[in-house]
Amino acid sequence: MRRKKIIIGNWKMNPLTGIEAEKVFSGIAKKLPSLKRTEVVICPPAIFLERLKKIRTTKVKLGAQNAFYGEKGAFTGEVSAEMLYVFDIKYVILGHSERRVMGESNKEINKKVKAALFAGLAPILCVGERERDENHEYLNIVKRDIEECLAGVNKNSLSKMVIAYEPVWALSSTAGRHDFIPSEFLEIKIFIKKVLSGFFGAKTDLPRIIYGGSARPDNASEFINEGEADGLLPGRDSLDPDKFVEIVKICEALGN
């Protein structure tokens, strides 16, 4: 049986207040139709998780934007994967390009992935290159991200994860960005599957592989259909209930 497609909204460090967060979350929940082929996850700033959890809805799952690898202890400012699990959080984004820019290494991300899986969370592992070069070195970067971030992970846990490919050079927040097209995503998805099969074994049940770039209503159908993405990770448009729900509806219509 095919797994559901997945749309994950990454709110990043937005919005400013809890009232605004509730308004956006409620707007999404109210506008979403009944879904059979699509899973929806919203990852707000951690400070809003408790508030949004009180807005009961079966249509949207809550995820976190990060988790620390220590279970508890003297780690000021951190939130552990165990804490998130106890709080009934299902997913956690790890290795996002914006955190990598701040110095997060594959070694650290690997610890977080293992801790999240051990706690019962489903990691959303972000991988991708900052630049696209003619010598195809970017493929080695993606391969290294995958192998170093998943080193020591039990292959039976792999299917619980989601891998989000982020072509950093094509993101909307990147100056001088280039358009990234669905056919390019399909190529990288096939490459990621080959890397995973080579690393874990040919018979391994692989994770969903989604497009983590600038997903919008005007390109969602192309990435789902032509790019064969298993889902999308919208950023800015996940804060707009109308646009986010439109992306979900497109995914639901194309899901199988």
Question: Which residues participate in catalysis according to the annotation?
Answer: 96, 166
Distance of CA 105 to the CA centre of its chain: 18
Phi then psi for 249, rounded to 5 degrees?
A: -60, -40
Beta partners for 163?
125, 209
Q: Reduced to 3 states, what is the DSSP secondary structure of residue 137?
A: helix
Is the bond preceding 123 in cis, omega lying within 30 degrees of 0?
A: no
Report the DSSP beta bridge partners of residue 178. none
DSSP code of residue 68: B
Residue 188, SS3 per DSSP: helix
Q: Which residues contact 163 (CB under 8 A, 6 or more apart)?
A: 124, 125, 126, 127, 146, 192, 207, 208, 209, 210
Rounded distance between C-alpha atoms, residue 64 and residue 42, angstroms: 8
d(CA 14, CA 22): 12
Euclidean distance between CA atoms 73 and 57, whole angstroms: 33
